[in-house]
């Protein structure tokens, strides 16, 4: 028998190896910034969520739990995924209740406006993001009953490998290393980009709109599910661009909600009251951005407090991840502001006040009086060379000396600066990985890297315009 | 149930593990049941065909064993006609009718409509030929008839080689099948080398054949947009595809059988290393070409009846072989081309010898052998065009484009990456082809298959190769939701 022992040992090694390969290749929402609200939910301590939001991309774009935490200490969480349909919503709520006991579950009812997914990608997102479990199998059955492409390929969805194995074509660092905020995030997708949105065209609600039997059954199931777990159901419809019949469904939901004692907030109708600005608060016509999410949060904080008591958990043990999430949000916001700042006098204080930033400041050629702002960091603008700013401390790491050699500085475990001096404005004097951050003219160039978010914040050059050249402009 | 499908990956271990532990006397029944189940997965009704063919040849064998020569001849003729009629009806009926209607059309007679809607039973060409080989061997007195029906039925339907061969000789397979019911055939060595063969087969099929089929199919579907470069690439690509596909299938079949302790005939022996077309047919689909040699070419007279008759026999054998591959004139033409190659090879031999002597060519030099291999590959590759085109008209158009639309810039303007394989995929394909080349050289030099070679290596090396092959197949293999997985090409024959 001894000679056959190798077979189970090989099988064990193969399983371990393939498990690792699967972990790299497994489904990740690569078009959703690799965020997975299920991963984030699984990383939470049991029974720590008080307010759970469930829904589609409207939810992860429009509800920022970090606002709720910052303002009121409410432990909120988004269980949201692109194109979450009614079946998914039920199973996500069930999954939520497995480890959490939220006081209120707020479900976005946008899913009442469609029956099937228009995009294959959303089927993948909804099915493959969900863990393989009893609920996962029930969800797959529900999809298979509705969608031929799913029923025909059910074993592929079940085993997953036949679908995900082609991800070798799109692997990135994030497939091998799970970045923030997947381990502490609260399901929001942070976005400060603004685009002018179309305001939904609304007709006057006459109070007679009726839900279809399917929709009513779905709402009833949600309500019973929440009640069975001692939770309160609330409904909302974050602002979206409506098509024919959509608004009637929302109005019908309002009628049902009122009749069943369920709170319902239709943001299309509440836009004015909340103060949503269609010029600044939207990423597109159906998705809020960070500014819109702030207004939605301020509104919901009051409304939810009226639905149930939501205690302030700030400072309590077990809620550290909400602090971390807020820090992540703040870091992203600060980085965003820093990246958009073009004046050195404004840039330097932001850099000085930032956390977890690593910056290389390279001064070559001449610098004039407009570079005086650098003094607040401790740099004499007339002293050319390479400086390193890391977590509030400054050090001059290299003179502009051709004999200085090369200096490597790790910004974090992933990115490295390479400094050298091959003459003023020589390409390659300052490299951040493969990006050239070298000066191109007189002045200073600052490459800022965020070692918390593991990404480049900005590479900005502040040029010195010599007096003699200034006259050329006239 | 394709070998590269999830059901087979469940079916095979489910058959194998109980087979290992059950009492010997049950094993034949177990394998027979598994084989019939395997076959019924395609179409349960068609199991009657294989059963009919089995019963007919089994009974014929027993009857021939007892009868005199005249009676034996009559029985053999009956069993051959019955089997070929079955094959004709299910495989060539529509083809024959289409040709009849073409002739009727020429004389303005209304076309005949087929009263049947037939689906080609999987593997019918293979098990029919295997059964016929058995009957002919008994008639020739080379074999005694199998008395145990279970053994014989398992010989005909043994699932690893049921649907696409190798076409086993009864003298090779039947004794092993008999032993299955008597003693333990499987060994650790067989399991290890069989597993290695199976992995290699999957690698060839899923990483090479199915990947190279993407541009080949795209080019054949858009011939109007192709010039010399694309058509040559498609011909070369299809040569690789059909080899990797069929040799891959055979490797899986051989590996699966080997794991059970049953040895199957080696079906491919680095055919593209052949130095002549004759050599090619000693290396390509060996079980079929030797079947045609023994049961068609030699009975026709072989090379015993003069030169002209030999040429005629060669042509007949290859035309029939072409028709065996599919019910289309393009297959017949493909067979005819190979027959023509062989005849011309014989006819031009003296001239070739004279030229070589005149040019003082060193026949031991690598370049000489390389040149012969290259020419053989080019000839075989050219013939594959007719095999792949599915109609003579398409094949002729393909060849016309090849020689009339000279477009060397296609090699440099990156347009070759627009036939379904981008740079990355093309890189993977070439990497896999390098591995295929390395293994082929190993086969040529060591005279052993990959499974047996790995068996002799150190454990860590063998396991590393196994893991790499498993990973390559699982990750780079062409399968899954978005992939319209091509069936093994030879299943259609």
Complex-level ipTM: 0.80
**Cβ of residue B6 closer than 8 Å to a chain A Cβ:** yes
Per-residue pLDDT band for B99 (boundaries 50, 70, 90) equals confident
Proportion of chain A above pLDDT 70, given as a percent: 96
Q: Is pLDDT above 60 for B493?
A: no
∠ CA A231-A234-A240, rounded to 5°: 145
Characterize B45-77 residue by residue with b for buried, 16 or more Cβ atoms within 10 angstroms of its Cβ, and e for exposed.
Answer: ebbebbeebbebbbebbbbbbeeeeeebeebbe
Q: Is pLDDT above 80 for A205?
A: no
Per-residue pLDDT band for B481 (boundaries 50, 70, 90) equals low
- Summarize the confidence of residues B314-331 as an average pLDDT: 91
Residues of B in contact with A25 (CB under 8 A): 475
Long-range Cβ contacts of A246-250 (<8 Å, 24+ apart): A246/A113, A247/A200, A247/A202, A247/A203, A248/A209, A249/A109, A249/A112, A249/A113, A249/A209, A249/A211, A249/A215, A250/A109, A250/A112
> Which pLDDT does position B59 carry in this prediction?
92
Decide which of B75 and B122 is more confident.
Answer: B75
> Which pLDDT does position B4 carry in this prediction?
85
Residues of B in contact with A155 (CB under 8 A): 6
Per-residue pLDDT band for B177 (boundaries 50, 70, 90) equals very high
3-class DSSP assignment, residue B295:
helix
Cis before A152? omega within 30: no
Q: Which residue of B has its CA nearest to A21?
A: B471
Strands A76-80 and A357-364: unpaired
Q: Which of B249, B243, B251 is nearest to B212 (CA)?
A: B243
Distance CA B61, CA B151 (A): 13
CB contact under 8 A, B481 and A17: no
Per-residue pLDDT band for B485 (boundaries 50, 70, 90) equals very low
Q: Is pLDDT above 60 for B487?
A: no
> Which pLDDT does position A168 carry in this prediction?
87
Per-residue pLDDT band for A468 (boundaries 50, 70, 90) equals low
The domain A29-331: what is its CATH number? 3.40.50.1110
> Which pLDDT does position A36 carry in this prediction?
81
Q: Which residue of A has its CA nearest to B469?
A: A14
> Which pLDDT does position B327 carry in this prediction?
84
CB contact under 8 A, B480 and A17: no
Residues of A in contact with B482 (CB under 8 A): 163, 166
- Residue A392, sorted as left (phi over 0), alpha (psi -120 to 50) or beta, turns out to be left
Number of Cβ within a 10 Å radius of residue B102: 10
Q: Which of A48-57, A429-438, B482-491 has the lowest mean pLDDT?
A: B482-491
Q: Is pLDDT above 90 for A219?
A: yes
Report the residue count for chain A: 474
**Cβ of residue B190 closer than 8 Å to a chain A Cβ:** no
Number of Cβ within a 10 Å radius of residue A252: 21
3-class DSSP assignment, residue A94:
helix
CB contact under 8 A, A18 and B471: yes
Per-residue pLDDT band for B361 (boundaries 50, 70, 90) equals confident
Proportion of chain B above pLDDT 70, given as a percent: 97
Three-state SS string over A31-73 comes to HHCCCCHHHHHHCCCCCCCCEEEEECHHHHHHCCHHHHHHHHC
Report yes or no: B474 and B206 within 8 Å, Cβ to Cβ: no
Q: Which of A160, A273, A183, A257 is nearest to A215 (CA)?
A: A257
Read off the tokens for B459.
């454990």
Domain ranges (residues) in chain A? 29-331, 344-473
Residues of B in contact with A163 (CB under 8 A): 480-482
Q: Is pLDDT above 50 for B223?
A: yes
What is the DSSP code string of A171-211?
Answer: --HHHHS--TTTTT--S----------PPPP-PPP-S----
Size of interface A-B (CB pairs under 8 A): 47
How many angstroms separate the CA of residue B263 from the nearest CA in chain A? Answer: 21
Q: Which of A250, A247, A267 is nearest to A258 (CA)?
A: A250
Read off the tokens for A182.
């997947």
Distance CA B194, CA B184 (A): 16
Q: List pLDDT tens digits, range B233-276.
A: 999 999 999 999 999 999 999 999 999 999 999 999 999 999 99
Beta-carbon contacts of A271 under 8 Å, excluding residues fewer than 6 positions away, are A199, A200, A239, A278
What is the DSSP code string of A420-446?
Answer: --SSTT-TTSEEETTEE----SSEEEE
- Which among A10, A13, A25 has CB closest to B475? A25
Q: Is pLDDT above 70 for B490?
A: no
> Which residues of A lie closer than 8 Å to B, measured between beta carbons?
3-4, 6-7, 10, 13-14, 17-18, 21, 25, 149, 153, 155-157, 159, 161-163, 165-166, 168-169
Q: Which residue of A has its CA nearest to B475?
A: A165
**Mean pLDDT across chain A, nearest whole number?**
89
Q: Which residue has 């189940």 as its token pair?
A: B37
CB contact under 8 A, B470 and A6: no
Distance CA A232, CA A104 (A): 5
- Summarize the confidence of residues A231-260 as an average pLDDT: 91
Q: Is pLDDT above 50 for A412?
A: yes
- Summarize the confidence of residues B416-435 as an average pLDDT: 93
Identify which of A152-161, B117-126, B474-483 has the greatest average pLDDT: A152-161
Report yes or no: A49 and A100 within 8 Å, Cβ to Cβ: yes
> Which pLDDT does position A5 carry in this prediction?
84
Distance CA A215, CA A89 (A): 13
> How far, CA to CA in Å, does B184 sit from each of A224, B32, B151, B181?
61, 17, 16, 8
Q: Which of A119-133, B152-166, B338-352 has the lowest mean pLDDT?
A: A119-133
> Which pLDDT does position B111 carry in this prediction?
73
- Summarize the confidence of residues A321-330 as an average pLDDT: 94
Decide which of A404 and A30 is more confident.
Answer: A404
- Summarize the confidence of residues A183-193 as an average pLDDT: 89
> Which pLDDT does position B228 carry in this prediction?
93
Q: Is pLDDT above 80 for A85?
A: yes
Read off the tokens for B265.
């005939």
Distance CA B333, CA B330 (A): 5
> Which pLDDT does position A246 carry in this prediction?
86
What amino acid positions of B are annotated as catalytic residues?
A: 325
> Which pLDDT does position A466 carry in this prediction?
67
> Which pLDDT does position A136 carry in this prediction?
85
Distance CA A274, CA A295 (A): 6
Distance CA A378, CA A376 (A): 5
Q: List pLDDT tens digits, range A88-107.
A: 999 999 999 999 999 999 99
Cis before A396? omega within 30: no
Q: Which of B63, B203, B194, B201 is nearest to B139 (CA)?
A: B63
CB contact under 8 A, B480 and A156: yes
Per-residue pLDDT band for B142 (boundaries 50, 70, 90) equals confident
Distance CA B151, CA B437 (A): 39
> Which pLDDT does position A224 carry in this prediction?
96
CB contact under 8 A, B474 and A161: yes
* Phi, psi torsion values for A265, nearest 5 degrees: -120, 115
Proportion of chain A above pLDDT 90, given as a percent: 57
> Which pLDDT does position A32 carry in this prediction?
66
CB contact under 8 A, B471 and A17: yes
Read off the tokens for A174.
């994030």
Q: Which of A12-21, A25-34, A273-282, B343-352 has the lowest mean pLDDT?
A: A25-34
- Summarize the confidence of residues B162-186 as an average pLDDT: 87
Q: Which residue of A has its CA nearest to B484?
A: A153
CB contact under 8 A, B479 and A162: yes
Report yes or no: A436 and A428 within 8 Å, Cβ to Cβ: yes
As beta bridge partners, residue B324 has none
> How far, CA to CA in Å, does B471 sit from each of A14, A170, B306?
9, 17, 55
Query: What is the end-to-end Cα distance of chain B in Å, rounded?
Result: 16
Q: Is pLDDT above 80 for B117?
A: no
- Summarize the confidence of residues A457-464 as an average pLDDT: 91
- Summarize the confidence of residues A152-164 as an average pLDDT: 86
Residues of B in contact with A165 (CB under 8 A): 474-475, 477, 479-480
Decide which of A206 and B17 is more confident.
Answer: B17
**Mean pLDDT across chain B, nearest whole number?**
89
Residues of A in contact with B425 (CB under 8 A): 169
How many angstroms separate the CA of residue A172 from the nearest CA in chain B? Answer: 15
> How far, CA to CA in Å, does B209 sit from each of A377, B382, B386?
63, 18, 18
> Which pLDDT does position B162 carry in this prediction?
87
CB contact under 8 A, B463 and A166: no
Decide which of B18 and A243 is more confident.
Answer: B18
- Summarize the confidence of residues A129-143 as an average pLDDT: 85
How many angstroms separate the CA of residue A156 from the nearest CA in chain B? Answer: 7
Distance CA B371, CA B394 (A): 30
> Which pLDDT does position A67 carry in this prediction?
96
Residues of B in contact with A149 (CB under 8 A): 481
> Which pLDDT does position A471 carry in this prediction?
46
CB contact under 8 A, A3 and B476: no
């Amino acid at each position: 028998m001894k000679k056959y022992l190798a077979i189970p040992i090989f099988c064990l090694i193969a399983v371990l190896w393939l498990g690792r390969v699967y972990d790299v290749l497994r489904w990740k929402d690569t078009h959703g910034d690799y965020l997975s609200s299920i991963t984030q939910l699984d990383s939470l301590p049991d029974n720590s969520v008080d307010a759970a939001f469930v829904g589609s991309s409207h939810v992860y774009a429009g509800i920022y739990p970090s606002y709720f935490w910052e303002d009121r200490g409410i432990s909120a969480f988004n269980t949201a995924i692109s194109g979450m349909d009614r079946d998914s919503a039920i199973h996500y709520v069930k999954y939520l209740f497995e480890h959490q006991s939220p006081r209120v579950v707020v479900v976005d009812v946008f899913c009442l406006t469609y029956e099937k997914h228009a995009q294959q990608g959303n089927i993948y997102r909804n099915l493959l993001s969900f863990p393989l479990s009893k609920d996962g199998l029930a969800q797959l059955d529900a999809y298979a009953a509705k969608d031929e492409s799913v029923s025909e390929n059910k074993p592929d969805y079940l085993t997953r490998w036949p679908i995900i194995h082609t991800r070798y074509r799109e692997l990135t660092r994030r497939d091998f290393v799970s970045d923030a905020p997947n381990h502490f995030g609260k399901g929001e997708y942070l976005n400060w980009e603004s685009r002018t949105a179309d305001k939904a065209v609304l007709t006057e609600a006459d109070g007679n709109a009726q839900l279809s039997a399917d929709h009513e059954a779905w709402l009833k199931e949600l309500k019973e599910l929440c009640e069975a777990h001692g939770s309160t159901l609330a409904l909302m419809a974050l602002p979206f661009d409506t098509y024919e019949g959509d608004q009637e469904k929302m109005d019908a939901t309002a009628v049902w909600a009122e009749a069943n004692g369920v709170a319902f907030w239709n943001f299309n109708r509440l836009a004015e009251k909340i103060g949503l600005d269609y010029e600044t608060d939207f990423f597109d016509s159906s998705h809020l951005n960070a500014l819109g999410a702030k207004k939605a949060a301020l509104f919901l904080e009051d409304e939810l407090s009226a639905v149930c008591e939501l205690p302030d958990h700030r400072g309590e043990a077990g809620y550290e991840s909400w602090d971390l999430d807020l820090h992540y949000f703040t870091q992203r916001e600060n980085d965003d502001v820093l990246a958009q700042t073009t004046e050195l006098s404004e840039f330097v204080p932001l850099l000085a006040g930032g956390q977890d930033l690593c910056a290389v400041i390279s001064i070559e050629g001449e610098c004039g009086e407009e570079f005086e702002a650098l003094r607040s960091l401790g740099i004499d603008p007339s002293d050319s060379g390479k400086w390193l700013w890391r977590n509030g401390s400054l050090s001059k790491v290299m003179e502009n000396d051709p004999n200085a050699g090369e200096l490597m500085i790790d910004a974090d475990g992933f990115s490295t600066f390479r400094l050298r001096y091959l003459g003023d404005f020589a390409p390659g004097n300052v490299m951040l990985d493969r990006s050239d951050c070298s000066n191109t003219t007189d002045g200073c160039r600052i490459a800022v890297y965020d070692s918390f978010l593991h990404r480049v914040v900005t590479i900005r050059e502040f040029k010195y315009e010599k007096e003699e050249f200034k006259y050329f402009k006239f | 149930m394709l070998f590269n499908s999830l059901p087979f990956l469940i079916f095979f271990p489910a058959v194998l593990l109980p087979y290992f532990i059950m009492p010997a006397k049950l094993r034949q029944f177990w394998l027979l049941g598994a084989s019939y189940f395997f076959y019924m997965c395609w179409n349960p009704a068609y199991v009657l065909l294989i059963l009919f063919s089995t019963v007919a040849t089994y009974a014929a064998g027993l009857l021939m064993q007892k009868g005199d020569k005249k009676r034996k001849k009559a029985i053999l003729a009956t069993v051959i006609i019955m089997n070929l009629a079955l094959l004709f009806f299910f495989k060539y009926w529509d083809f024959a009718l289409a040709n009849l209607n073409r002739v009727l059309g020429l004389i303005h007679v209304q076309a005949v409509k087929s009263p049947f809607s037939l689906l080609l039973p999987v593997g019918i060409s293979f098990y029919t030929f295997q059964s016929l080989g058995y009957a002919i061997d008994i008639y020739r007195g080379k074999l005694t008839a199998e008395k145990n029906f279970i053994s014989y039925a398992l010989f005909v339907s043994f699932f690893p080689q049921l649907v696409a061969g190798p076409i086993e000789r009864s003298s090779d397979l039947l004794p092993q099948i008999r032993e299955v019911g008597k003693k333990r055939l499987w060994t650790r060595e067989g399991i290890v080398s069989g597993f290695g063969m199976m992995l290699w087969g999957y690698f060839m099929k899923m990483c090479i054949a199915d990947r190279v089929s993407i541009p080949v199919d795209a080019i054949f579907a858009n011939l109007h947009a192709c010039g010399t470069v694309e058509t040559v690439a498609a011909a070369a690509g299809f040569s690789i595809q059909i080899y990797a596909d069929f040799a891959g299938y055979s490797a899986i079949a051989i590996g699966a059988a080997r794991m059970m302790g049953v040895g199957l005939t080696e079906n491919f022996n680095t055919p593209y290393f052949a130095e002549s077309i004759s050599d090619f047919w000693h290396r390509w689909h060996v079980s079929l070409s030797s079947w045609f040699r023994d049961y068609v070419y030699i009975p026709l007279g072989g090379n015993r009846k003069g030169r002209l008759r030999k040429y005629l026999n060669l042509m007949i054998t290859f035309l029939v072989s072409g028709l065996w591959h599919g019910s289309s004139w393009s297959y017949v033409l493909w067979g005819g081309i190979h027959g023509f190659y062989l005849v011309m090879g014989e006819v031009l031999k003296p001239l070739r010898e004279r030229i070589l002597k005149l040019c003082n060519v060193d026949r031991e030099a690598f370049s000489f052998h390389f040149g012969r291999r290259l020419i053989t590959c080019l000839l075989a590759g050219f013939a594959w065009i007719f095999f792949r085109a599915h109609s003579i008209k398409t094949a002729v158009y393909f060849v016309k484009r090849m020689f009339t639309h000279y477009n060397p810039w296609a090699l440099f303007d990156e347009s070759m990456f627009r036939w379904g394989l981008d740079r990355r995929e093309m890189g993977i394909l070439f990497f896999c082809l390098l591995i295929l080349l390395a293994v082929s050289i190993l086969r040529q030099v060591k005279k052993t298959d990959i499974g047996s070679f790995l068996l002799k290596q150190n454990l860590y090396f063998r396991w590393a190769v196994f893991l790499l092959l498993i990973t390559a197949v699982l990750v780079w293999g062409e399968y899954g939701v978005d992939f319209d997985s091509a069936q093994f090409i030879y299943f259609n024959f």
